[in-house]
Amino acid sequence: MRMRADIMWNAVVACRAEYDGVFYYGVRTTCIFCRPSCRSKTPKRENVDFFASAREAMERGYRPCKRCRPDLLEAVYDPNGKWIREVQELLEREYRDPWTLDRLARRVGVSAFHLQRMFKKYTGASPKQFLNRVRVEEAKRLLADSDKKITAICYDVGFTGLTPFCTAFRRLTGMSPRAYRNLRLRERPDENRNRQLQE
């Protein structure tokens, strides 16, 4: 059953990425079609057509937007997606290393600008934000399951100091590393009685 036009229009206005590939929209005045998440200027409603597929849009005479590349959603091979997945796997595996954007770009053979732009486009986060998430997840595991001091955990997971560690941890969890550890210990009082509030 085809989606209601008002739902599709609201998704376009809000740039809702979860509708990418579900439908496409074309602008009659430019003969260009886009993904719902495209960040181009919102067209007038009366100039918009909706399509179930990129093929349908192209058959109606619309060209794919060069900014959001809706035609790539239905492509079999996506070279950008391939190397971005490689970057994600690299950061998940070698999160302790002191990665910079330039060093990471050299590692995968692209410019730092291209890496930053494409990585954020595909994942919704910058490489630094993604790496911080990986490091914080590992820190959460160590805080809950080990007796290591918070300072030691900070350096073990790759942060260069307590300030950036605590800032990233609070941003991603809503609490400090100490508060997180104490919360986890209270959830398992019998198992962790000796470690309660040790720091």
> Where in the sequence numbering do the catalytic residues fall?
34, 38, 65, 68
Two structure tokens written together for 90: 């690299």
Burial of 98 (0-12, 13-18, 19+ CB in 10 A): exposed
What SS3 class is residue 62?
Answer: coil
Identify whether the C-beta of residue 156 lies closer than 8 Å to the C-beta of residue 165.
no
Write the CA distances from 65 to 31, 62, 84, integer angstroms.
9, 9, 22
Cβ 57 vs Cβ 82: under 8 Å: no
Asked if 182 and 188 count as a contact pair (C-beta separation under 8 A), the reply is no
